[in-house]
Structures are given as structure tokens and as C-alpha cells.
Amino acid sequence: MRKIEHIGIAVKNLQESNLLFEKLFGNPPYKEEEVESEGVKTSFFMNGPNKIELLEATNPNSPIAKFLEKKGEGIHHIAFDVKDINVEVDRLKAEGFIVLNETPKRGADNKLVVFLHPKSTNGVLIELCQEIS
């Protein structure tokens, strides 16, 4: 893993949260998109070298909807940038981590993504991200 790619925050209302974070950072989100396969609408903010992703559920069965129902708004995941996601998945499985989706899937912000189960990472959902070239 090379660096923290972003921190994902689950929110109930993306537009209201965008306004809040725009005030916080002093700039608007640089990107908004919907990831239909995950049932989520996202926006991305830059703060210096750091990236924050806000996530709003677009259907009641999405992982974000379930997270919000259980835990409310807040930090949902920490994403790490990786050079080769398949190599990283194999390495982490060999180390005993539980991988939620062994086959990388297309995520937001032009990334391939894989998630590690929080049961194997001290309660934190970890996302591995590889830039799609």
C-alpha cells in the first residue's frame, strides 16, 4: 500500500453535506458521480493532498443505506492506493485478512476497488484502490 487514497464518509443527504464540507474546506467538491452497482451517489473534496469522499445511498438495500441505519452518519471506510490490486489481494489473503470481493470491481473516481472485512481489520472497513489506466 502506497498511501491513504481517501476517507469515505456516509451521509444521509449529499447536497446538504456538500454545502457543509464546502464551508469546512473553502472549496466545492471537484467531482460528483453515481455508482449504480453499489447503490451510491458520491462527491469528492480535496483538502491539501487529502481526499474525502461523501457517500449517499440511492436505494434502501445498498451497503451505505444499511450502514446509516446501523451506525448513522460518519466515517465509513479508509481507502488505500495500491499499485497492483490483484497482487495486494493475494498478499492480504495469505496474511489472513477476509476479502469481501476477491475480484476487483469498478468504483468511483476511475478506480478498481476491493474491500477487506472489518472483522479482520479491527472494525475498520478497508478499501484497496487502483487507478484504471
Cell numbers describing residue 30: 471537484
pLDDT tens digit sequence for 99-113: 999 899 999 999 999
Work out the average pLDDT over 81-103.
96
Asked if pLDDT for residue 133 goes beyond 90, the answer is no
Residues 6+ apart with CB under 8 A from 39: 57, 58, 59, 61, 62, 63, 64, 65
- Please determine, for residue 1, whether its predicted confidence score (pLDDT) is greater than 90: no
Asked if the model's pLDDT at residue 32 lies above 90, the reply is yes
- Grid cell for residue 64: 451505505
DSSP letter at 98 equals P
User: What distance in Å separates the CA atoms of residue 26 and residue 6, rounded to the nearest whole number?
Assistant: 18
pLDDT digits 0-9 by tens, 52-74:
999 999 999 999 999 999 999 99
Q: Specify the pTM.
A: 0.94
Spatial distance between the Cα atoms of 115 and 60, rounded to a whole number of angstroms: 20
